[in-house]
Chain A
Amino acid sequence: MSLSVLVLERPGRWRLAGLSFVIAVSLLPTLPLILAIRENAPWATLNVPGFLPLLIKSLAISFSGAAAALVLGLCKGVFFSLYEYRAKRLFLFLFIIPIMVPPLLWSVSFNNLSFYFRLISMHKTVCLVFITAMVTLPLVAASTVSACQTLTSSQCEAVRLTAGETRLFWLCLRFAFPPAAVAACLGAFGMLASPGPAMGLGLKTAISEILVSFSALYDMKLASAQCVMLSASTLALASFVLLVSGKRPMELLASSSKRLQPSFQGKMSTLAFVFSLLCSVLLVLIPCGALLFPAFTLPDVSLLARTLSRTLPYSLLYSAGSALVALFLGFALAFFMGRFNLTRTIGMSAMLVIFSLPPSLTALGFVYSAAQAPPWLDFIFRSPISVCMAQGFRLFPVPALLAARYFASLPPSWAYAAEIQDISLKRFSFKVLSPLACKTLLTGFLLVFLLSGADVATVLLIHPPGGQNLPLAIFTIMANAPRGQVAQLCSLYLALATIFLASISAIWNRGKTWKSYQASY
């Protein structure tokens, strides 16, 4: 018996069941460690009075960075949506760079800045806020662009004619604010879970305290309890943000009508160009330059070649594999979320919490599970699959958001028409839904591909012996290798990611087929 197409449009308890299943699967690896805290619960040793101020401080830093990213990302997104200006695509690429690089390296970059250019020496907390803003800004800008796409050309023209360009800009900012705020939260929570930048700057935060519990005290229970506390506060904050933002964040997921087309608008286009240029220089080019500057020494070509040949296959494998896992889980979650407020709220809250979990928690959970599992399951638990799964389970919220937006953009009438014409769900999915999901699939794949490369902690803990990827190789030598060598490897990594991005872009732009029906969709 085949499923009806109308299942795409129907509510039901099965959606809740499906959501619960997907969320449970993604949290399953963390279960061994979470369960461990039940025995001889370490709440007494949690030292809440000691940990709580750190938690508050970390939240304050993350949200300050997110707030800065929100302001800049909103402007960037609105400029991108409304106006055509010079070098628009180049700026778009530059803005993606911060999420391509492991966050710790940005703290290295800032340390280099103060090392080479002593005048530029910022307070550590300011540096961490800056790094959070850098990494969060692309997410905010992307969600702003998404939100602006729900506006129609005629709406914007009407405001232009009656109230002027500035008023239009301001209205768009206000319009895109709620979903952009949610995206800023996502970025903030992601940085909360990343110990690298804080440790690299020598700043104490909640996540660095968790790292101490793991690495210095070897107290798994305490670390797990701290993670639970971190996630609980994240969930509380996420709920608050969603509540305050109202229904509008769902417009991150809303349907699109006729797309707003950017146009040249004289002074505003010039302003957009100048703003993008300033942001690119301050938030991307200078930190990149500081990171890569030491690379300008004579390279040890044989070492670079050996490192690359050893790590490149695994780099591609882990990134591609985790992207695949994340895509499957993300699309599944989005499918179960559907168009319904309850399931969307549950889904989005779960995504925010999962994104805030420290990667080490999932990774160590995998290691424990592998040790308990029978040897015949080693092909899953002790192979590259485990790395792909661990990273995919953590990063699937990214394609889930994109997929949710895609599903929400499908007119319900399509499913109705298919049902009336007796088209099975399978055939409808293959012939109609999948090709149209290409852009979403590709974007989700790309984002997870890049983000997984930046996740060193998971790879370190789970990779099969001999299966290092390039970012991990950089991290294992950076302590004692010459700065130039580390910078050269970082340059190599960035160059490879850029080539990959460019290839995907070239594939996307090919073909008459896309343009001919994109006009109507």
Chain B
Amino acid sequence: MFTLSGKKIWACLFCLLPLMFLPGCGKQKEEVVVYTSVDDLFARPVANHFEKLTGIKVRLVTDTEETKSTGLLNRLIAEKDRPVADVFWSGDPVRAALLKEKGVSAPYKSPSATDLPPQLSDPEGYWTSFSARVRMIIYNRERIPENQKPLSIFDLNAERFKGRACIANPLFGTTSMHAAALFQVLGRRKAKKFFEDFARNGGKILASNGDVKASVASGRCLLGLTDSDDVSVAVAEGRPVGFIFPDQKGMGTLLIPNCAVLIKGAPHVEQAMKFIDFLLSPETEKMLAESQAAQIPLRPGIKGPEIFPTIQEIKVMKVDYSKLAITLERIMKGFLKQWTDKNS
């Protein structure tokens, strides 16, 4: 017979309490805590490989898409006074620059970075770039014939694509970075005109780059702006999509390198530096290139993803990455917010 007395009930409840402490126990000396905004699918294998090589346990904290939650960056900023993280592996330089501005990061010039292009990293060493994504135009191959495919981002505003072009929410992620880059490169007037023309042409603002990919692949939209890793996933899934690097005869396309950031006051500094050295190594660039992320190595001589050319073959926008965060902050609270409010 099943009976429950009051004492048994309270005993059951109190017995469960100590379980809450268990996962906190057994902290290893050799460990490194890595926060990353790179997709879990791509970051975890890299972390696992580092563990195998060095024996240092990697406690990985990944992020959701920004449009789904408050985000890891807020956590980093909130923890500033007594950080938990040792390393922040950022998917783009803007967040890395933001952390520098907020006093969350510390400078570290890794010996692994000597052969990485310095113009893509922070001159003071607060963040170092490696393996990059690229902004691309994805289009539906079944709906757009080869001779009519878009070649420039301005083609999103073309009459023939009226109401059928899409971009992700420019207040978040790489699209926001792209917007800031356009303001920097084109100037305020032309950049504003691009967005206004996009809206006038019936362009759609979707929740995320993933939604842009899905929308173009399904044919709901004919073309859109997204990142190379989204394109790579779509191609791998066999979706009927084509892609181009926009403005190869003009301003070029935006390069979005990953960045390694050492957190100021990191609890495991030595291990953090080792992890950053590993991140910036040719081995990691190769791993990321071979993964579904299809990240393009910044180093010459490392084989990139099959579907994309090498970085040297792509014309990239001439952007001052260290000033991009300031530009972004300015337009975010101004034009971009108003434009998104009006058109979404």
Query: A: which residues have CB within 8 A of B?
Result: 50, 104, 111, 115, 195-196, 199-202, 204, 211-212, 214-218, 220, 313-314, 317, 320-321, 324, 327, 360, 363-364, 367-368, 370-372, 375, 379, 382-385, 388, 429-435, 437-438, 441, 456-457, 460-468, 472-473, 475-482, 510-514
- Which of A199, A363, A463, A480 gathers the greatest number of chain B CB atoms within 10 Å? A480
Across the interface, name the chain A residue whose C-beta is closest to B81: A371
Q: Pick from A115, A314, A475: contact of B68, CB below 8 A.
A: A475
Q: What CA separation (Å) do A215 and B75 show in the bound complex?
A: 10
Cβ contacts under 8 Å, A388 to chain B? 20
Cβ contacts under 8 Å, A382 to chain B? 24, 84
Query: B: which residues have CB within 8 A of A?
Result: 1-7, 9-10, 13, 16-17, 19-24, 33-35, 39-42, 59-75, 77-85, 98, 102, 171-172, 176, 205-211, 214, 218, 229-230, 233, 237, 292-293, 332-333, 337, 341, 344
Q: Is the CB of A480 within 8 A of B233?
A: yes
Q: Is the CB of A204 within 8 A of B4?
A: no
Question: Given A215-B73, A321-B20, 8 more contacts at CB 8 Å?
Answer: A218-B98, A321-B16, A367-B79, A435-B6, A456-B64, A464-B59, A465-B59, A465-B85
With A214-B74, A360-B70, A438-B9 in contact, is A476–B21 under 8 Å at CB?
no
Q: What CA separation (Å) do A466 and B17 show in the bound complex?
A: 20
Distance from A426 Cβ to chain B, minimum over Cβ atoms (Å):
10
Across the interface, name the chain A residue whose C-beta is closest to B204: A202
With A204-B344, A477-B41 in contact, is A196–B68 under 8 Å at CB?
yes
Q: Is the CB of B6 within 8 A of A383?
A: no
Cβ contacts under 8 Å, B70 to chain A? 211, 214-215, 360, 363-364, 457, 460-461
Q: Is the CB of B61 within 8 A of A465?
A: yes
Q: What CA separation (Å) do A321 and B16 show in the bound complex?
A: 8
Q: What CA separation (Å) do A482 and B72 show in the bound complex?
A: 23
A-B contact pairs, 15 of them (CB 8 A): A199-B67, A199-B207, A202-B206, A202-B211, A211-B69, A214-B71, A215-B73, A327-B13, A370-B82, A465-B35, A473-B40, A475-B64, A475-B69, A479-B64, A482-B233
Across the interface, name the chain A residue whose C-beta is closest to B63: A476
Cβ contacts under 8 Å, B293 to chain A? 480
Q: What CA separation (Å) do A482 and B237 show in the bound complex?
A: 8
With A216-B172, A317-B23, A465-B84 in contact, is A324–B63 under 8 Å at CB?
no
Across the interface, name the chain A residue whose C-beta is closest to B333: A217
Secondary structure of the A side of the interface? Answer: helix
Distance from B115 Cβ to chain A, minimum over Cβ atoms (Å):
29
Cβ contacts under 8 Å, A204 to chain B? 341, 344
Cβ contacts under 8 Å, A379 to chain B? 21, 24
Cβ contacts under 8 Å, A370 to chain B? 79, 82
With A215-B66, A456-B69, A480-B229 in contact, is A384–B20 under 8 Å at CB?
yes
Q: Is the CB of B23 within 8 A of A513?
A: no
Q: What CA separation (Å) do A123 and B13 show in the bound complex?
A: 46
Q: What CA separation (Å) do A462 and B24 show in the bound complex?
A: 13
Q: What CA separation (Å) do A480 and B42 show in the bound complex?
A: 9
Cβ contacts under 8 Å, B72 to chain A? 460-461
Distance from B227 Cβ to chain A, minimum over Cβ atoms (Å):
10
Distance from A445 Cβ to chain B, minimum over Cβ atoms (Å):
9
Q: What CA separation (Å) do A474 and B130 show in the bound complex?
A: 27
With A385-B21, A480-B292 in contact, is A431–B6 under 8 Å at CB?
yes
Cβ contacts under 8 Å, B6 to chain A? 429-435
Distance from A216 Cβ to chain B, minimum over Cβ atoms (Å):
4
Cβ contacts under 8 Å, A463 to chain B? 61
Cβ contacts under 8 Å, A217 to chain B? 332-333, 337
Cβ contacts under 8 Å, B205 to chain A? 202
Q: Is the CB of B2 within 8 A of A510?
A: yes
Across the interface, name the chain B residue whose C-beta is closest to A465: B59
With A218-B77, A466-B59, A480-B39 in contact, is A456–B341 under 8 Å at CB?
no
Across the interface, name the chain A residue whose C-beta is closest to B2: A511
Cβ contacts under 8 Å, A364 to chain B? 70, 74-75, 78
Q: Pick from A434, A464, A480, A512: contact of B210, CB below 8 A.
A: A480
Q: Is the CB of A218 within 8 A of B73?
A: yes
Distance from B19 Cβ to chain A, minimum over Cβ atoms (Å):
6
Distance from A516 Cβ to chain B, minimum over Cβ atoms (Å):
10
With A215-B74, A217-B333, A477-B40 in contact, is A385–B68 under 8 Å at CB?
no
Across the interface, name the chain B residue whose C-beta is closest to A473: B40
Cβ contacts under 8 Å, A429 to chain B? 6
Distance from A373 Cβ to chain B, minimum over Cβ atoms (Å):
8
Q: What CA separation (Å) do A366 and B21 show in the bound complex?
A: 17
Closest 7 pairs (CB-CB, A-B): A434-B6, A511-B2, A430-B6, A465-B59, A383-B24, A466-B59, A367-B78
Q: Is the CB of A375 within 8 A of B40?
A: no
